[in-house]
Structure 1
Amino acid sequence: MRTEEILAAIVTGLWSWDSSAGTVTLDAEAARLLGLPAEASVYPSEEVRPRFHPADWNEIDGVVNFAIAEDTIAEARLRIVDEQGTVLRTVRSRSKPVPVKSPGRFEYVLMGILQEVAEPSAGVPAALSPITGDWRRSREAFLLDAGRALAEAGSTEEVLRVAGSLSMPGFSPDGLAVFGISGERLTVVGHHGHNMGDEKPFTDMPLETDYPAAEVVRTGQAIYLPSPEAYRQRFPTTWPLARGFGRRSWAFVPLIVSGHTMGAWMAAFRHSVAFSPDERAVLTTVAKMLAQALARAGAAETERELSLGLQKAMMPSLGPGVPGLTVAARYVPTGGGLQVGGDWYDMIPLPNGRIALVIGDVQGHDVRAAGLMGQLRIALRAYASEGHRPDAVLSRASRFLSGLTEEYDGTEGEDEATSARFATCLYAEADPDTGTLDIARAGHPDPVVINVDGTAVIRQTAGGLPLGIEKDADYPTTRVVLEPGETIMLCTDGLIETGGHDMATGWTRLRPVLEEPTEDLEKLADALVQAVHGPGSHHTTGPLVDRREDDIAVLVLRREGATTRTAPGRRSAMTIAQAEPERIAAARQQVRELLHDWSDGEQIDAAELLVSEMSTNVLVHTDGDALLVAEVSGDRGERLLRVEVADASDELPHKRRPGEMASSGRGLVLMEMLADTWGVDPRGEGKSIWFELCESTEPPES
């Protein structure tokens, strides 16, 4: 005998239900048990579903969820009804659920058997109470899933969406509403299973109204209405409002948090529900979880609004454009806590017609850091508006911050670790007419200059200690000149070091973004932030994500002019003072940055060595400062590097023959060996020594 014949002999059929495809496959016996023609066939689920009692059908999701979680068989007793709702028979289903991947939805395939059981008797009307199958196991599985889903909801809208998708074991509602309290009036927070605008009669309802949700809010006691008659008898005044929705049963359950009733939850059913003790226990438990989720979501939304308000208050508007300059900025707070911190940027009009660009970072990512940042930003604005030069502005700001931290040092309950704060800062005074920027830096990352040809170079600048460490700290000034079309980028260390990067690897990550051709500074600012945090990140006014390790502030400024990247080359210049021999190391690094894409690494090493020799020669053999200018011109692969070091001495260098143990005298010997061409040019009061290197694409000889 075939398997189907054996199963039919014991009144057992085979079925398969594919929820993703919306089909049910039945053999002949399974079709007969469901009251369909006794032949094997595939039916749309819409044709099979009416054969089950609606309460029993709703229980299937809970049973299946539990079986999938526990990797067991899904078992339930299901009543089969005719078109009039009369029970024909009761069948037992034993199925193995197999999850099916489906974006945004939970789908599965049930494969198993249907077997007729002796209860209840045929011809008996369907009972009101749907306690079928393993109620306890289904309830536990449902509550576990509901608790997990509500705990993960991060906003009121998401909580309401999760609540609307809950499938309670045996009695899922098809209409939900969440009521809140505003003063002495009832409000509708959200609803599900109703049309847009259906909530209007219930919105802004006085709490004294004879309406179930209002009474629940007043008393804190749940109300269960198993039938329309029960609703009409208990609440005759507002029954006409509910009658038009066509529901048969209602549950109004209080939403209580920390002993305080914050609203009410309505669950409405199109089929009759008796509200047995088990069903009431499930509804009460769901209401408690829903109240906790709504309270968390409300607190989180209030916190986000407070964060955005603080950010908007503390972050300045860049204001109207400055003739000759284009500016864009972004601020992204850290993902933790109140999402406020100590990073900031500012643009300040100065009395002399110039503008000041400021970017800084107060230590910490908390409210106090944000408060100190606000005070420091105001102080910097005041000092700048008084007309002080960049070095004086930072010196005064350092004394100001030292005074603030001393006040905190004396605060009761504050230890040294929590009271002492410092700040890094970069202050640049920009002249729109000439493109010059006078920069003073207090422990802050160096700026990056993007040449017209697209090359991004870290511009080494002189710097001092972070603000607030020493009252009388000095801050030397460095002058940077932007050619027309060139861009300078200022940022805090959060843009560089987030994601486990240090300064070196962080710049390597950002360089391709900086060198990507774009004439829109707003797009460049967005691209810099997205390079660190991905496309979900936004600036101050956008939604925030929680993947951020540190605050980010970034400010980009471009001198208007030629923006095409066909310009002949790139250029860098800096002064090396007699009192700052450490600037020679910065000069070497600047030349190396200028040649970062040079094809021959040995030529880069040679250029760095020659720059060091030329600069050291000026500091050792003259009494003046050295001015270094490095330029790269030509097409890639055929470029020319020219480096000049000028000083005010008339004494020309001459070639020596140093002995084996001599510690000097090899500068010109190295020039002859390493440079393609070199020379010394008198220049009025002083001279210039220079060398040139032609880019080599040939591999070096071994």
Structure 2
Amino acid sequence: MAERGASELSLPDDWPAHPDPILALNRIGSFDWDLVSGLFHMDAQAHEVFDLRPDEYDGRAESLSVRVPRPESTRLDALVAQAIKDGSENYGTYFRLRLRDGRLRWTHTQGYIRRDETGRPYRVIGIVRDATRELSEIESHRERAIRDEARRRQTDVVETATAALAHARTVDDVIEVLRDTNGLTRLGATSLVMGLVEAGRIRLVADGPDNSFVPGTRVTRIDEPYPMSEVVRTLGPRFIESPEEFAERYPVLWPHITHLDITSAAYLPLIAQARPVGAIGLLYSDRYGFSPEDRNVLVALGSSIAQSLQRAMLYEQEMDLAAGLQQAMLPRTIPSVPGCDVAVRYRAATIGGTLGRDIGGDWYDLIPLPGGRVGAVIGDVQGHDTHAAAVMGQLRIVLRAYAAEGHTPATVMARASVFLHELDTDRFATCLYAEADLTTGVVQVVRAGHIDPLVRDPDGTCRRVPVAGGLPLGLSAEFGRLDCPVSTLELDPGSTLVLCTDGLVEQPGTDLGDGVRALAATVASGPSDVRELADLLIREAEERGGEDDVALLLLRRRGLEAPRSHGRLQQHVAPGDPEALAEARHLIRAAVRAWGAGEHGDEIELVADELITNALMHTEGAAVLTLRFLTGADRRLRIEVEDSSSALPRRRDAGESGVSGRGLLLVETLADGWGVEARGGGKCVWSEFLVRGPRA
């Protein structure tokens, strides 16, 4: 109560007031408080209410603090001060006081404030009485309401935590739910610790707050004298209801946590399928003991946590297995191919924002081919599971095998579609196969339901290259539409071919075209080094998140080491047109002289004539002759003859008297190299001659 200094002023004539004897008969005490002198007079009945003998009280209000607890005294002081300030005539309230034996007694007081003619308060006359019986029923109802509210709050926490745990996919997710301020902390726990059972030991996976970790308890044996070890051994909960009990039962642990001011604790075994998977401890600093309802709620909570924890552990095991399978299916290393720089990246899908990762069927591959060519593959098998990863691995292997056998890009894609259709799976796959001739920069592209490639030019600009496409692999075989159109593009020295799966460009709520344009802008502004560019693209995909995995392949044709074309001459030769054939021969002789290859003039003209003649004789359409002069590590003259037939040329034994069959043998003998490439619906037969004379 408020303290007032004593005064030498005389007391009022009627002080102290004499209460009606009926008050004493009703066990009601009275007091007279002189605000000027600070004297606080109480009658005999008031002494009984405060459980004070007359010789124990000196007549000062502040001396009552021995019976009135500080929180109650502070509240009474504030109440009286407010009544005096507001000009009130009286006040009344219930408060608790502590009796001689330590028990708390509910007490009621009511005071009448007297003021002088100026309104200044100078005296308070009032009563005090024992209100224990009066409030017992009210308090009983209040306590029941408090218990019911606490029970409802605890039940809500269990329901909320259970609902949140239902969405937890990993152990980290479970821990995050438990640490959430809207989760278990509503139960009043000030510290939490959780461990998992692993090989006869308990490994600590969560503890908090930050200063609650006990050194030496990160990994403990199940037979050690710790509460979590005990609940794992016995499969029963342990409720510690006081600091003294904690110190007595666990003397090894207690000295390390005294700074947390722990008053009670609950340790629960986490049991799933009749075996312990871990244990959790909840430590409290503001409660003593646990009611039967509290124990039931906590045991139910422990059961929910155990089920979620086991589900998360099984999920992580499955993901580890699936991720291992997927990594085994992807190429372990990318071969080094002369004439180009390659970078590949893979990013697993992120399910539910930053919660956990999933796998998928995206893949990439790089296939070295004869004649300075290389095959680049990017694909995506439908689904995000181990089955998708398994199908992806098989599909990658057969694509590599078909390409290595020398089939044209269209044939490689058609055979892969038939393989997937006959694999007895309901999955389909999108795929893009690009076969690049690093010598000439010609790239043959076949697309099966996949997104178009991008090309970054040496000047930094990036563009989407529209490519004619067919149905996804598996579906094209099912519907009998195996013909895959082949598109041709040229990759200049220093240009980069960008192949990716749709996880890099698709975003929820946005158009695919917008994603492709955003990717092209990023590629254009990114570094020219393919490895740095690949890191940038994957980093942005990580920051953006997404529910699809990403495969990425970048192929940059080298500008310095790769041969460079210093001219291209082309002539169309129609069947039955002798003038066109004569013009082609004239073109060859002129190119040989202009490019300084005169010493090989006869051989070059003979081989070109043979290739043109074969095209006109064995196909139904025209032939297109192309001459290129290439420089780089060496100087070469290249002859290309295109026709509309996909039938590959083959060498035959002409015999001693045969007049035909020696054409390809002649080409192989005279040229320094030759080969066949698919070109759209036809093919290109090429040959090259090393030019050792003066530079053109």
TM band (smaller chain): 0.5 to 0.7
Q: Secondary structure at the match of 1:316?
A: coil
Q: Report the counterpart of residue 214 of structure 1 in structure 2.
A: 229
Query: Is the CA contact (8 Å cut-off) linking 1:491 and 1:555 kept in structure 2?
Result: yes
More moved, 320-329 vs 214-223: 320-329
CA distance in 2, matches of 1:384, 1:221: 63
Question: Within 5 A, what are the aligned runs for 1:180-191?
Answer: 180-191=196-207
State the 1:489 CA deviation: 1.5
More moved, 352-361 vs 271-280: 271-280
Query: Is the CA contact (8 Å cut-off) linking 1:90 and 1:116 kept in structure 2?
Result: no
C-alpha spacing 1:217/1:280, structure 2 compared with 1 (3 Å): same
1:632-651 deviations in Å (ceiling 9; x for gaps):
xxxxxxxxxxxxxxx99xxx
Q: Secondary structure at the match of 1:245?
A: helix
Q: Which amino acid aligns with 2:447?
A: R
State the 1:432 CA deviation: 3.6
State the 1:191 CA deviation: 2.1
1:206-261 deviations in Å (ceiling 9; x for gaps):
34x4543333223322222223543465x4xx523334422443322222345543
Pick from 462, 476, 494: which aligns with 1:456?
462
Question: Within 5 A, what are the aligned runs for 1:622-641?
Answer: 624=622
CA distance in 1, matches of 2:451, 2:214: 58
CA distance in 1, matches of 2:413, 2:67: 84
Query: Is the CA contact (8 Å cut-off) linking 1:87 and 1:126 kept in structure 2?
Result: no
State the 1:472 CA deviation: 8.8
Give the count of matched residue pairs.
Answer: 449
Q: Secondary structure at the match of 1:452?
A: coil
C-alpha spacing 1:205/1:313, structure 2 compared with 1 (3 Å): same
State the 1:397 CA deviation: 2.2
Pick from 267, 275, 279: which aligns with 2:282?
267
CA distance in 2, matches of 1:195, 1:84: 38
1:504-550 deviations in Å (ceiling 9; x for gaps):
5554443323332531334544555677x5x525xxxxxxx5x32x4
CA distance in 1, matches of 2:464, 2:185: 64
Q: Which amino acid aligns with 1:191?
A: D
- 1:431 counterpart = 2:437: yes
Q: Report the counterpart of residue 524 of structure 2 in structure 1.
A: 515
Pick from 367, 379, 398: which aligns with 1:360?
379
Query: Is the CA contact (8 Å cut-off) linking 1:86 and 1:126 kept in structure 2?
Result: no
Query: Is the CA contact (8 Å cut-off) linking 1:446 and 1:458 kept in structure 2?
Result: yes
CA distance in 2, matches of 1:573, 1:390: 26
Pick from 396, 403, 413: which aligns with 2:415?
396
Q: Report the counterpart of residue 200 of structure 1 in structure 2.
A: 216
Unaligned runs of 5+ in 2: 1-63, 76-91, 105-141, 562-566, 575-619, 627-641, 644-696
C-alpha spacing 1:562/1:141, structure 2 compared with 1 (3 Å): farther
- 1:536 counterpart = 2:551: no
CA distance in 2, matches of 1:256, 1:85: 50
State the 1:272 CA deviation: 6.3
CA distance in 1, matches of 2:572, 2:448: 19
State the 1:327 CA deviation: 2.0
Query: Is the CA contact (8 Å cut-off) linking 2:429 and 2:473 kept in structure 1?
Result: yes
CA distance in 2, matches of 1:383, 1:623: 28
Q: Report the counterpart of residue 119 of structure 1 in structure 2.
A: 96
1:313-365 deviations in Å (ceiling 9; x for gaps):
23324535434322223334555598333321111233555432111223344
Question: Within 5 A, what are the aligned runs for 1:479-490?
Answer: 479-490=488-499
Query: Is the CA contact (8 Å cut-off) linking 1:175 and 1:194 kept in structure 2?
Result: no
Query: Is the CA contact (8 Å cut-off) linking 2:448 and 2:472 kept in structure 1?
Result: yes
C-alpha spacing 1:454/1:333, structure 2 compared with 1 (3 Å): same
- 1:276 counterpart = 2:296: no
CA distance in 1, matches of 2:66, 2:331: 70
Q: Report the counterpart of residue 599 of structure 1 in structure 2.
A: none
Query: Is the CA contact (8 Å cut-off) linking 1:357 and 1:429 kept in structure 2?
Result: yes
TM-score (norm 1): 0.53
- 1:345 counterpart = 2:351: no
C-alpha spacing 1:213/1:392, structure 2 compared with 1 (3 Å): same
Query: Is the CA contact (8 Å cut-off) linking 1:315 and 1:344 kept in structure 2?
Result: yes
C-alpha spacing 1:232/1:437, structure 2 compared with 1 (3 Å): same
State the 1:368 CA deviation: 2.7
RMSD: 4.8
CA distance in 2, matches of 1:575, 1:90: 108
C-alpha spacing 1:219/1:85, structure 2 compared with 1 (3 Å): farther
Q: Report the counterpart of residue 311 of structure 1 in structure 2.
A: 326
Pick from 233, 238, 252: which aligns with 1:240?
252
Q: Secondary structure at the match of 1:361?
A: strand
Q: Secondary structure at the match of 2:245?
A: helix
Q: Which amino acid aligns with 1:222?
A: P
State the 1:488 CA deviation: 1.4
1:272-303 deviations in Å (ceiling 9; x for gaps):
62223343344334433433443344344434
1:415-438 deviations in Å (ceiling 9; x for gaps):
xxxx44433322223334443333
Pick from 249, 270, 273: which aligns with 1:255?
270
State the 1:377 CA deviation: 0.5
Q: Secondary structure at the match of 2:422?
A: helix
C-alpha spacing 1:327/1:199, structure 2 compared with 1 (3 Å): same
Q: Secondary structure at the match of 2:280?
A: strand
Pick from 398, 422, 427: which aligns with 2:428?
422
C-alpha spacing 1:287/1:472, structure 2 compared with 1 (3 Å): closer
Q: Secondary structure at the match of 1:515?
A: helix
C-alpha spacing 1:305/1:168, structure 2 compared with 1 (3 Å): closer
Question: Within 5 A, what are the aligned runs for 1:595-606?
Answer: none
Query: Is the CA contact (8 Å cut-off) linking 1:497 and 1:506 kept in structure 2?
Result: yes
CA distance in 2, matches of 1:248, 1:173: 11
C-alpha spacing 1:489/1:187, structure 2 compared with 1 (3 Å): closer
Query: Is the CA contact (8 Å cut-off) linking 1:147 and 1:289 kept in structure 2?
Result: no
C-alpha spacing 1:168/1:343, structure 2 compared with 1 (3 Å): closer
State the 1:576 CA deviation: 12
Query: Is the CA contact (8 Å cut-off) linking 2:326 and 2:393 kept in structure 1?
Result: no
C-alpha spacing 1:346/1:83, structure 2 compared with 1 (3 Å): farther
TM-score (norm 2): 0.54
C-alpha spacing 1:501/1:624, structure 2 compared with 1 (3 Å): farther
1:486-510 deviations in Å (ceiling 9; x for gaps):
1112233444554355665554443
Query: Is the CA contact (8 Å cut-off) linking 1:85 and 1:125 kept in structure 2?
Result: no
Query: Is the CA contact (8 Å cut-off) linking 1:359 and 1:490 kept in structure 2?
Result: yes
Q: Which amino acid aligns with 2:148?
A: R
Q: Report the counterpart of residue 395 of structure 2 in structure 1.
A: 376
State the 1:557 CA deviation: 1.5
Q: Secondary structure at the match of 1:291?
A: helix
Q: Secondary structure at the match of 1:119?
A: strand
